[in-house]
Structure 1
Amino acid sequence: MDMKLEVVILPVADAVRAKGFYVERLGWRLDADFPINDGYRIVQVTPPGSEASVIFGEGLTAQAPGTLHGLQLTVTDITKAQEELTSRGVDVTGPFRDATGAFRHAGDAYRIPGPHPERASYGTFAAFTDPDGNEWFLQEVTQRAPGR
């Protein structure tokens, strides 16, 4: 049976501010904005090229705003992605790679500035946060591993 990640619930403090960041600043597609009633609002956005969406709003999660860390977006060119986000007013950290060469550690203790020396697929990252502090990573994937 296939199982596909469809939606990630993002904890935010202010749905209007979050909508402005994700739709107006990042340029993500607005799929839905349903203000159901006072204290319950559903906003769904989708990153360009993604099959999975992000939902935020009011009354959707007990998780504290800004506590989701490690969300990841895959890009084919980390330099171009960083340039585009920066041109949209987003503060992006990176590019960087992990000292181990495998994925990335939490925090920044093992970060080495600059892209992977061979620009190996899966080896270069950049990071940004939304206005609440939810942390997003970009990972450069130029050639997918077999079966992916």
Structure 2
Amino acid sequence: MAKTLSDAGYSLNTSQKAAEKQPVVELKLEVLVLPVSDVDRAKDFYQKAGFRLDADFNISEELRIIQLTPPGSEMSIIFGTGVTESEPGSVQNLHLIVKDIIEAQADLHNRGIDISEVWHDADGLFHRPGGRNRVSGPSPDRADYGSFASFSDPDGNGWFLQEVLTRAPGR
């Protein structure tokens, strides 16, 4: 059974004072722009991974915008031609939150996505850059925020699946 962050010994700022510092106006993340080298290859990859195609605007030779949304997400990704000047594959450490890391990893693997096995950090929460401190298998107590699997799109933009059953307060 998954443990909460508090059960795992991590402190959270849940005081009224912290709540009062929250913005008055909602600020929701809507779109993440990904730099890719081959628009159609990226479109095929993300659809194969189960992302829903929301739009494919072929405006001109210099401007094409593709928008896809991961299952269950309110935030979308956008890529295309003339969308960004960032280097293809330069976006890293993107997190897709899942309720069952084993099921989600198997689903992507079965869809033909080259995804790592499930792993956790030896110290528990989050993960270290470059794969340091990784231990095979899910977090031993299935603690929230503690189990991962990773994959990259064809350009090398890097994604993590992260298991969370109980969100931190205010989320």
Counterpart-to-counterpart distance in 1, 2:83 and 2:168: 35
Identity across the alignment (%): 55
Q: What is the TM-score with the length of structure 1 in the denominator?
A: 0.96
Q: What is the deviation of 1:39?
A: 2.0
Q: What is the deviation of 1:20?
A: 0.5
Look up the match of 1:76: 99
Look up the match of 1:6: 30
Structure 2: unaligned runs, 5 residues or longer: 1-24
Q: Deviations over 1:57-116 (max 9, x none)?
A: 011111110111101100000000011001000111131111221211111112111110
Counterpart-to-counterpart distance in 2, 1:109 and 1:39: 41
Counterpart-to-counterpart distance in 2, 1:99 and 1:107: 14
- For residue 110 of structure 1, the aligned residue among 125, 133, 148 is 133
Look up the match of 2:165: 142
Rg larger for:
2
5 Å-filtered alignment, 1:53-92, equals: 53-92=76-115
Q: Which residue type is aligned with residue 63 of structure 2?
A: Y
Question: Which has more strand, going by share of residues?
Answer: 1
Q: Which residue type is aligned with residue 54 of structure 1?
A: I
Q: What is the TM-score with the length of structure 2 in the denominator?
A: 0.83
SS in 1 for 2:58: strand
Structure 1: unaligned runs, 5 residues or longer: none
RMSD of the TM alignment (CA)?
A: 0.9
Look up the match of 1:16: 40
Look up the match of 1:51: 74
Q: Deviations over 1:30-74 (max 9, x none)?
A: 110001111211000000100000000011111110111101100
Deviates more, 1:4-13 or 1:95-104: 95-104
Counterpart-to-counterpart distance in 2, 1:105 and 1:61: 28
